[in-house]
């Protein structure tokens, strides 16, 4: 599985730790930055990771900022991205099973390395259940289509 990862300055340290763990676990990881803890703008990284996932070049995306919320808002502006911020196992599991989320956003302010790694592993291991949920996800996709 190929994973796109990115972070702003607030998420830089946690992103680096997650990137290393993912690589050690055998995932192919594409790092879209940032490459330092210097102040930067989270929408730039959310857009890069979002496009990578939406265009099918990576299977899933991971974004890290202070809360995970800004990254989710920015990534969801990219057509085809279903980004979700999550802080616990239930949120991660349900956002994959029910919403077919393809990007997970994490808040470095609230998660330590081990907890974040556990959430990422759950996100990558959980499959979309389809069924009635597929109809709803299809409606999400149509929301971004141009209106006549």
What CATH number did the domain enclosing 127 receive? 3.40.1400.10
pLDDT digits (tens, 9 = 90+) for 23-44: 999 999 999 999 999 999 999 9
Q: Is residue 67 part of a domain?
A: yes
β-strand partners of 7: 64
Could you tell me the two tokens for 115? 């907890």
Which of 9, 40, 98, 133 is the catalytic position? Answer: 98
Q: Is residue 11 part of a domain?
A: yes
Q: Is residue 111 part of a domain?
A: yes
Catalytic site residue 9?
no
pLDDT digits (tens, 9 = 90+) for 39-78: 999 999 999 999 999 999 999 999 999 999 999 999 999 9
Contact 131, 98 (CB under 8 A): no
**Highest mean pLDDT of the ranges 87-91, 136-140, 141-145:** 87-91
**Number of domains observed in the structure of the chain:** 1
Q: Is residue 148 part of a domain?
A: no
**Per the omega criterion (within 30 degrees of 0), is the bond before 34 cis?**
yes
Catalytic site residue 65?
yes
pLDDT digits (tens, 9 = 90+) for 2-23: 999 999 999 999 999 999 999 9
Q: Is residue 44 part of a domain?
A: yes
Domain with 42 in it: 2-143
Average pLDDT over residues 127-143: 89
Contact 71, 46 (CB under 8 A): yes
């Amino acid at each position: 599985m190929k994973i796109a990862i990115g972070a702003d300055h607030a998420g830089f340290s946690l992103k680096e730790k997650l990137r290393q763990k993912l690589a050690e676990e055998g995932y192919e990881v594409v790092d879209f930055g940032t490459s330092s803890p210097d102040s930067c703008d989270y929408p730039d990284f959310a857009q890069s990771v979002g496009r990578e996932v939406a265009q099918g070049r990576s299977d899933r995306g991971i974004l890290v900022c202070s809360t995970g919320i800004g990254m989710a808002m920015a990534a969801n502006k990219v057509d085809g991205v279903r980004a979700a911020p999550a802080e616990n196992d239930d949120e991660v599991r349900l956002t994959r099973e029910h919403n077919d989320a393809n990007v997970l956003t994490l808040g470095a302010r609230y998660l330590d390395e081990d907890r974040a790694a556990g959430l990422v592993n759950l996100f990558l291991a959980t499959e979309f259940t389809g069924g009635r949920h597929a109809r709803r996800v299809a409606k999400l996709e149509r929301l971004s289509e141009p209106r006549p």
